[in-house]
Chain A
Amino acid sequence: MNVLSQRRWPAYAAGAGIGVLSWIAFLALDHPLGVSTGFVRAAALLEGPRAMSLPYLAKLEPLVNFEVMLVVGLLLGAWVSARLSGDRAPALRGRALPALIGGFLLMFGARLANGCTSGHGISGSLQLAVSGWLFFVSIFAAGMAAAFLLYRKEELK
């Protein structure tokens, strides 16, 4: 049990665990790991019946499926992990507006590209999908440019 209450696992251990989890996802769900589609389903639920008149959302029916359950599980898993180790998230001040804008860009980009860091970046790349690797390269190019422009001198907490 001790290892479960450790605050930090090496990147290689966490990464290898995610890799093995991918095998299980393919075997048990016949589907790769992915987060953003499940997130869109949850967002469409919030908007209610009107959402279903939009062609993009209509093809996602029924809205609550295994992809939504994965997002719910993810939230719970992170909560339990943080509780076991007592790892507290740092209180970040003045982050509300940047987080709102960043989150908006993030999900808009993910929907346009048809995947996110998990669906394209990990699951796509591990299947050697050209789309996955192209996405990986694109986010690093834009992300590095943005980081060096915006946060190079900031003391990050």
Chain B
Amino acid sequence: MTKMLASLLIGFVFGFLLQKGQVAKRRVIVRQFLLKDFTVMKTMLTAIVVGGVGVYLLKSAGLVTLHVKPLQTGAVIVGGLIFGVGMVVLGYCPGTCVAAAGEGSRDALWGLLGMTAGALLFAEVFSAFQALLKWNDFGPVTLPEMTGIPWWVWFVIAGAGLFALRPAPARGE
């Protein structure tokens, strides 16, 4: 019960931040893919660096365990490509579509309907994708495990990428 309430509150703050960050807007998302507005990239990379450094430190302190999704190479690539096209055609990703619905976007409601249909159809045809899901499945592997390069180096690189985006906003913001 506590977990349900905690999750509701975490979701609330997540939705609040997405709306305040202006990423629950079709214009902002599509213009990111046109490389005219880097709000989405900056938001995601900042979340990755701040979140990742904290989570790895908490892990070192023994306070949390990682939950890494398996590297199902074929399914992640094919699913990601379909997702990318869907994200541009709809103008939102799942989280930002829910946030856009909260913000009052009418098109986001149609998006939620399409998302519901996509979820249910996938459940129907799930068994047909077993071969793709198993194709080059390397299990839950992380970049430090795969390369031997320590975790903090990756966040320095991601942070440098974030810094490189800094002078660009004149076109979009």
Contacts and interface: CB of A to CB of B under 8 A. Distances in A.
A65 B95 CA distance: 17
Contact of A74 (B15, B52, B73): B15
Given A101-B89, A122-B51, A73 B63 contact: no
Interface of B: 3-27, 30-31, 33-35, 38-39, 42-52, 54-56, 58, 63-73, 75-108, 110-124, 126-127, 129, 132-133, 138, 140-144, 146, 151, 154
Given A92-B107, A102-B114, A107-B114, A113 B91 contact: no
Contacts of B20: 6, 8-9, 13-14, 81, 85
A47 B129 CA distance: 22
B66 A127 contact: yes
B55 A22 contact: yes
B129 to A, nearest CB: 6
A39 B138 CA distance: 26
A131 B90 CA distance: 24
B42 A116 contact: no
Given A46-B116, A73-B11, A114-B72, A147 B88 contact: yes
Interface in A124-157: 124-148, 150-152, 156-157
A102 B93 CA distance: 10
Interface in A1-44: 6, 8-9, 11-33, 35-36, 39-40, 42-44
